[in-house]
Structure 1
Amino acid sequence: MTTPADRLQAVRDRIAAAARAAGRDPAEVGLLAVSKTWPAAAVRELAALGQADFGENRAQELTGKAAELADLPLRWHFVGQLQRNKAAAVARLGAVVHSVDRLSLARALGRVGVDTGRPVEVFLQVDLGGPEGELAARGGTDPAEVPALADAVAEEAGVVLRGLMAVAPRDVAPGPAFVRLAELAARVRADHPEARDLSAGMSADLEEAVAAGSTLLRVGTALFGTRPLPSPQDESHQSHGSQQPG
């Protein structure tokens, strides 16, 4: 049985090797531990090893763990599909939201950002489609609509556009999809320099994501092991969000 320290080091080693292979500085690539379905104790174990960023895909689970772990200096991320009626609870925790796929959600988050004086950092989720190129219907904006959505979100008070997020299509090699995502991210960044991050890559495909320019990997299984409970949004099917598997 491997320990949390073993798993964390193995993931860090994979990231460093992938970055070097791509001619990148490993320090450019952040690690988000996707802790959905895992207890707060598992988060605490990784936090003790220096991991600070954690992701959840359900608002109730996020708020519960954040309260239980309030004594730790953690950075929370929301990586699942977010309903507008749950947006305020997530935003008030200061969580980074990776799954903004419509302007109405950005506005709901922005209202909290204005009220609290703490802008909400958001990623626009992109639907990279399925093996035949069709939209995957599991969250995310059509790539053709992303630039216009980025323009609109960037104008909203109370939010900060941090970049794009996506999950590679199932049943096909992830590399080409990540390259398309990186090209779209560069287009958005040209108009919105603050949108400098790219949230892509999970346990199974982090090397391909790093090669394409990912700056934030959403990793769950490789850090925590096989999930102990079924999740409403299976990490291999959702944006973990979807986000992810992890």
Structure 2
Amino acid sequence: MDDSTGRRRSRRLTAGALLTGGVMYGAANAFYWVMFPDDVADTADNVTVAAGHLGAWRVETVLFALAHLLLLPAMLGLAATLGRRKPVVATVGGAASLLGLYFSTVHLWQYNAFFGALAGGGVDAGAARPVTTAIDGDPFVMASFAVWLLGWLVGLLVLAFGAWRARLVALWVPLVLTAGQVLDLVGTGVPVKVAVSVLMVAGFVGLARGVERSRAAEAPAGTATPATAAA
């Protein structure tokens, strides 16, 4: 298998991971907010929330885990796709997004699996509160939480705008992802969170199509010819 064939295969896998990972991410986010629409005043109260719909809590845990397992290679593949045209963007965006996704995976799994296990074991929120208070106040946990939020926000948008600058996607793709990320941070309520899911899915679909177009454009001549994004 020559280099051009390997690149095309890698881009096909990247496009597939972007598409399925993005859809899974949006579905998990929407499912969570539809099933658990009320914000909690205290972290320990998630035990009570999980106990109320334990089956749905388990489903949401699996959905988010699958989304992250797909998005990790998707971001790595997107960075590799941009690496030959925008090496600085690929390095910065790839490193930031991978760090963010890694800590997001750790936090979300700990968050979902931990509270699901407590709820399934009949532990009440009061008994869990000293543990959650210690976790929430730990400097290492707080730092890793910040890396998650900033890494995912900055990394994804750097890669998305880099894909636009490399003419892989149209401008609407990074703009839609920016809107989704910002709205997720500042917005509240089920309709807003569902809108976030729709925006994120649309953005990831756009990224997947851009990577797939670049693979198709390279195929005839076996060279890395930039694909012109559709307006």
Same fold per TM (> 0.5)? Answer: no
The structure with the greater share of residues assigned to helix is 2
Per the normalisation by structure 2, the TM-score is 0.29
Higher strand share: 1
Larger radius of gyration, structure 1 or 2? 2
Q: Which has the higher contact order (CA 8 A, sep 6+)?
A: 2
